[in-house]
Amino acid sequence: MSGPPNKAAARAHTKHEIPMSQNETFHLAQEFLGRMGSGAEPTEIAKLFSETLEWEIAGDTGVLPWIGHKSGRAAITDFVRDSRAMIERIRFEVHDILASDNRAVILGSLASKLKRNGKVVTTDFAIVLTVANGEIVRFQMLEDSFAVSQVAHG
């Protein structure tokens, strides 16, 4: 029996993989954060991601468009566009970036205000970036999905 499709797809990227070093993976995570923080265009941020990206933010699917499982580079461009339109960033702090040859984990905390109802969500987070061939092939964000859902429902 195989695992969930998103894990199988992420593993499939390793078949013809160009090895990356821990340092390269770390710098790719830093570049992602830098582009997000600088207000770069969604297409510029998306250049860091594979065309076959697997996207996962667990939670109450339907309350915000970026929550759930998605595939393809459009997941990141949609996320950047939609999140900028729907939330106001109050605080985004990175506490640490941990990296191996094929994965970076970004640990931090954030506070965001949902524009449609003015409510604020505060949560710690972990963003897990799986990398291969110099690009991000899987994006997974772990956060307090219950708090996000409560704020989104108003």
The full set of domain ranges for the chain reads 20-152
**φ and ψ at residue 38, rounded to 5 degrees:** -85, -5
CA dist., res. 28 & res. 134, Å (int) = 8
- What's 146's DSSP letter? H
CA dist., res. 75 & res. 51, Å (int) = 10
Please give the chain's pLDDT, 154 residues, in tens.
444 444 444 444 445 667 789 999 999 999 999 999 999 999 999 999 999 999 999 999 989 999 999 999 999 999 999 999 999 999 999 999 999 999 999 999 999 999 999 999 999 999 999 999 999 999 999 999 999 999 999 8
CATH number of 20-152: 3.60.15.30, 3.10.450.50, 3.40.50.1370, 1.10.10.10?
3.10.450.50
